[in-house]
Amino acid sequence: MSSTPIPGTWQIGDDPGRRQFVELKSGDQGFSLEGGGSLSNVTVAFETWGQLNYSATNAVLVLHALSGDSHAEGPSGPGHVSPGWWEALIGPGASIDTDEYFVVCPNVLGGCQGTTGPSSPAVDDAPYGSRFPVITIRDQVAVEVALADELGIGKWAAVIGGSMGAMRALEWSVGYPERVERAVVLAVSAAASAEQIALCSLQVRAIKSDSAYANGDYYFTGRSPISGLSVARGLGQLSYRTEHEFDVRFAREAQGEEAPLHGGRYAVESYLEYQGEKLTRRFDANTYVVLSEAMNHHDIGRGRGGIAEALNTVRARVTVAGIASDRLYPLGQQLEIARLLPGDQEVHVIESEFGHDGFLLETEAVGNVVRAALDQ
């Protein structure tokens, strides 16, 4: 379904992909950020499906992961090089039924698909580049709160996300408990672990070590750190999938007629190169850095007495789900979240050979979890 206008001060943009835009401001000083910086104003790109009811009680917030954007549902085309990343879950009669719910999916703060990020113009009309401030998951949610206010949504019927999107769903539930009726958190931890920080930091180093990176100010150089971004994506892809899947799909096979012993590539090497090159065609390297570092700062218990105390304040009905084969966010981390939430929580375990990416690829199983949560 196409985006449905609702009353408000925001405008429907003419940008390809049916994105809509709102200019947000937060006080005289703009948005004060957790790391000490600020942004004078923020533009948020978002897409909607369905119709907001008169009492504004049927709104569902869907939150994307690291390399996603507002295009959760819909075909590829101008403005979107691929179909919606959760297309099977959103629509009339789908798990998130747009005949019943008004679905909102914003591009995250720090993004590169219409929401203010490092490639956006600063007050001097030049891209922020290296001047873009440090942001956290809490800062991203603060912007989403301002967006909800602008749309006239006082309380979400549900906030749903996986991976980085689930970090924000948890942050919504802890930081704004009165504004979330239900939450679905998939494939996430309550705080970034040392290994998760290490993996993200290596990806950041790969980008920054590219000679074209220019300390983040590459927008006017005629070059872009596509090599570094491609390597970063390859590292990420390795952690998103599983050893078993790689063995089944690639084993030790050569790529086509290439001879690895004589300088050619193995098939798995070609796959990782392809995934990296594909991302460079639609994603900004600085955004990858900024969002990766925001994920490293993820800690639901920071300044709240620790994880246990923070999760104990949640009022929403939370559905926790994990992927059995996830080696990036192992199942034990979802079990910890469920154990520390109020009440007797269970973890819905999704079987998949795809590891962490199972929250995107196992659409039937994930859809069943989401539908059951909304039907509570």
Say whether 163 is catalytic. Answer: yes
Q: Which of 80, 297, 298, 356 is catalytic?
A: 356
3-state per-residue secondary structure call for the chain? CCCCCCCCCCECCCCCCCCEEEEECCCCCCEECCCCCEECCEEEEEEEECCCCCCCCCEEEEECCCCCCCCCCCCCECCECCCCCCHHHEECCCCEECCCCEEEEECCCCCCCCCCCCCCECCCCCECHHHCCCCCHHHHHHHHHHHHHHHCCCCECEEEEECHHHHHHHHHHHHCHHHECEEEEECCCCECCHHHHHHHHHHHHHHHCCCCCHHHCCCCCCCCCHHHHHHHHHHHHHHHCCHHHHHHHCCCCECCCCCHHHCCCEHHHHHHHHHHHHHHCCCCHHHHHHHHHHHHCCECCCCCCCHHHHHCCCCCEEEEEEECCCCCCCHHHHHHHHHHCCCCCCEEEECCCCHHHHHHHCHHHHHHHHHHHHCC
Say whether 326 is catalytic. Answer: yes
Q: Which of 95, 163, 189, 230 is catalytic?
A: 163
Q: Which of 69, 139, 326, 357 is catalytic?
A: 326
Q: Which residues are catalytic?
A: 163, 326, 356
